[in-house]
């Protein structure tokens, strides 16, 4: 059952008691969010049904295709900035031909998945939290429950599946566009020929970097969806509550993308 | 039969329901009236276990609803239809898809049978022409009627109506009242109706209950209800220009 009551401190509680209660509630919320993610993943086989598949395809379109323009622009300029800044430093040592490797490795290892995570957290995660939050305060989630339709299977599973597929794809796309942007800057600003830039970039692009980057993207996709859906489904108190849930979803997603990203990198390198 | 035993519900630091006990018999239309914010919808949500009581027990027949979890709760809810205040339709599905949803998700009925039952339910609420429209394209009253069609399409034993006629024009409101009566008389559906509309409440209710201060201050048949000595009841009736004379003149008896 979806919780639809705001957390309240008991009357006449001391500050110390409030702190303990807040810590316990924080743990409970985290536990519920993890449980939500697990339940959504366990329900993945339900997507074989036509109805579930339609919703899954709709979510793939929203997560993937609708995010493409912003991802393209951000990835392109990130690659360009990365190439320019690295190129300025390398030029001091006449080593600017290596910007290809610098851009490619940064994008594959970290920047590709990180940028994709942040953009999807801001665009798709916030939209998920706002939509599910509005549905919660408008009793649409309660309506699903009274029809004995599990809101997690019906709403969260298609979203998490779509994000699990689209985040790695978009992350790879980000890496490619970023590298292209770097190549353009190398060619126009740093006098590095395109062929030299590309051969240098591909020389340093190893499978491990690619797969670790894609794994991180996959994890980010799960985290963003779980956090955003959990915040949306636990929204209370009308429009203000939906706004709060959306804000919290974006902040928590950003923080987790950063923190989890560090630990995954630490694990592999 | 739905039974509330000493239900207390504490929300935002106050007891919205305060030691509320009552029983709804199978096959009756039980109407709950009362001023806004007195916990009518909260009472209704306790029946379908959308809210859990702070203390006390809710029974549906011999099932302790307030203790149900998981599959047991799912089975319990399958016995209910619920009309929410705003209709609570899913915005990305058409009216017909919304109505078909409980059948598609929870039954193994063939597509043509689902289509037939959806058409039948939409016909009952006079919405067959809006079947292919999205909720955002129809009025609030139509959304509510579509919500009602969805609530009854699975032919539940108990239907909970949260403000079924608010926001509707008087003609449509009376149509909804007649539909509630039809479901009750002809199909034996137990109905629990939360409303502000005293005209409707007195015409369709088997019993009418007045919720005030977290408890029922009056639970009686419509005839007894209009003569209740309870000041809250009289105030509520007077506010809607209903007097002993007007009620009995309308019902044709004394």
B33: distance to nearest CA of chain A, Å? 21
Contacts of A178 (CB under 8 A, 6+ apart): A75, A76, A78, A79, A82, A103, A107, A111, A112, A115
- Start and end residues for every CATH 3.40.50.300 domain found in chain B: 26-54+158-254
- How many angstroms away from the CA of B74 is the closest CA of chain A? 5
B26-54+158-254 maps to CATH 3.40.50.300: yes
Hey, what are B231's tokens?
């000041």
Per DSSP, B133 falls in state: S
Nearest-CB residue to A142 (from B88, B90, B154): B88
Residue of A nearest to B14 (CA): A11
Q: How confident is the model at residue A256 (pLDDT cuts 50, 70, 90)?
A: very high
Note whether B83 and B98 are within 8 A (CB).
no
In tens, the pLDDT along A162-178 reads 999 999 999 999 999 99
- Check residue A1 and give its pLDDT: 58
Chain A contacts of B80, Cβ < 8 Å? 146
A58 touching B (Cβ < 8 Å): yes
The verdict on a CB contact (< 8 Å) between B45 and A140 is no
Residues of B in contact with A143 (CB under 8 A): 82, 84, 88-89, 147, 150
Reported as half-sphere exposure (CB side, CA atoms, 13 A), residue B163 has a value of 20
**Where in chain A are the domains?**
15-268
Q: How many CB atoms lie within 10 A of CB A150?
A: 18
Contact residues, chain A, for B104 at CB < 8 Å: 51
**DSSP secondary-structure letter at B85?**
T
Q: Mark yes or no for CB contact B84/A143 under 8 Å.
A: yes
Q: Write phi, then psi, for A99 (nearest 5 degrees).
A: -60, -30
Q: Is the pTM of this model over 0.90?
A: no
Closest chain A C-alpha to B125 CA, distance in angstroms: 19
Average pLDDT, chain A: 89
Q: How far apart are CA B252 and CA B254, in angstroms?
A: 7
pLDDT tens, position by position, B27-73 = 899 999 988 888 898 999 999 888 889 999 999 988 888 888 888 88
- Encoded tokens for B247: 């009620």
* DSSP H or E stretch at residue B250: helix B244-251
What ipTM score was computed for the predicted complex, to two decimals?
0.87
Q: Which residues of A touch B102 (CB under 8 A)?
A: 147-149
């Amino acid at each position: 059952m979806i919780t639809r009551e705001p957390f309240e401190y008991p009357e006449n509680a001391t500050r110390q008691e409030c702190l303990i209660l807040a810590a316990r509630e924080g743990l409970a919320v985290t536990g519920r969010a993890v449980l939500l993610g697990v339940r959504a993943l366990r329900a993945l086989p339900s997507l074989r049904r036509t109805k579930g598949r339609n919703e899954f395809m709709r979510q793939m379109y929203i997560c993937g295709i609708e995010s493409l323009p912003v991802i393209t622009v951000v990835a392109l300029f990130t690659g360009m900035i990365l190439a320019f800044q690295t190129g300025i430093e390398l030029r001091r040592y006449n080593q600017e031909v290596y910007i290809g490797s610098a851009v490619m490795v940064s994008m594959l290892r970290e920047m590709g998945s990180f940028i994709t995570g942040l953009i999807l957290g801001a665009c798709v995660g916030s939209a998920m939290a706002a939509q599910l939050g509005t549905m919660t305060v408008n009793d649409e989630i309660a309506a699903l429950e009274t029809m004995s339709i599990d809101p997690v299977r019906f709403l969260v599973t298609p979203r998490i599946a779509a994000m699990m597929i689209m985040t790695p794809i978009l992350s790879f796309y980000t890496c490619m566009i970023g590298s292209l942007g770097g190549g353009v800057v190398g060619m126009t600003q740093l006098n590095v020929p395109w062929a030299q830039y590309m051969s240098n970039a591909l020389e340093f692009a190893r499978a491990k970097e690619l797969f670790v980057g894609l794994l991180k993207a996959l994890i980010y996709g799960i985290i963003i969806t779980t956090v955003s859906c959990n915040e949306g489904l636990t929204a209370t108190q009308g429009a203000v509550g939906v706004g709060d849930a959306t804000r919290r979803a974006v902040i928590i997603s950003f923080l987790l993308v950063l923190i989890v990203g560090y630990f995954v990198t630490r694990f592999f390198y | 039969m739905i039974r509330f035993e000493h239900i207390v519900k504490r929300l935002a630091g106050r007891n919205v329901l305060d030691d509320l006990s009552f029983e709804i018999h199978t096959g009756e239309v039980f109407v709950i009236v009362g001023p806004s914010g007195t916990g009518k919808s909260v009472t209704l949500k306790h029946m379908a276990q959308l809210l859990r009581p702070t203390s006390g027990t809710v029974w549906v027949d011999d099932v302790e609803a307030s203790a149900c979890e998981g599959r047991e709760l799912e089975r319990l809810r399958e016995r209910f239809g619920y009309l929410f205040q705003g209709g609570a339709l899913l915005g990305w599905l058409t009216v017909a898809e919304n109505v078909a949803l409980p059948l598609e998700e929870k039954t193994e009925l063939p597509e043509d049978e689902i289509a037939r039952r959806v058409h039948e339910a939409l016909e009952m609420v006079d919405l067959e022409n809006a079947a292919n429209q999205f909720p955002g394209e129809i009025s609030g009253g139509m959304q509510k009627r579509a919500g009602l069609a969805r609530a009854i399409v699975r032919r539940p034993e108990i239907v909970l109506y949260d403000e079924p006629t608010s926001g509707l024009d008087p003609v449509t409101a009376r149509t909804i009242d007649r539909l509630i009566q039809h479901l009750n008389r002809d199909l034996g559906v137990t109905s629990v109706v939360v409303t502000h509309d005293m005209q409707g409440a007195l015409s369709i209710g088997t019993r009418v209950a007045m919720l005030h201060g977290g408890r029922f201050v009056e639970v009686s048949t419509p005839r007894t209800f209009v003569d209740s000595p309870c000041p809250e009841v009289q105030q509520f009736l007077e506010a809607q220009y209903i007097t002993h004379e007007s009620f009995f003149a309308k019902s044709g008896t004394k």
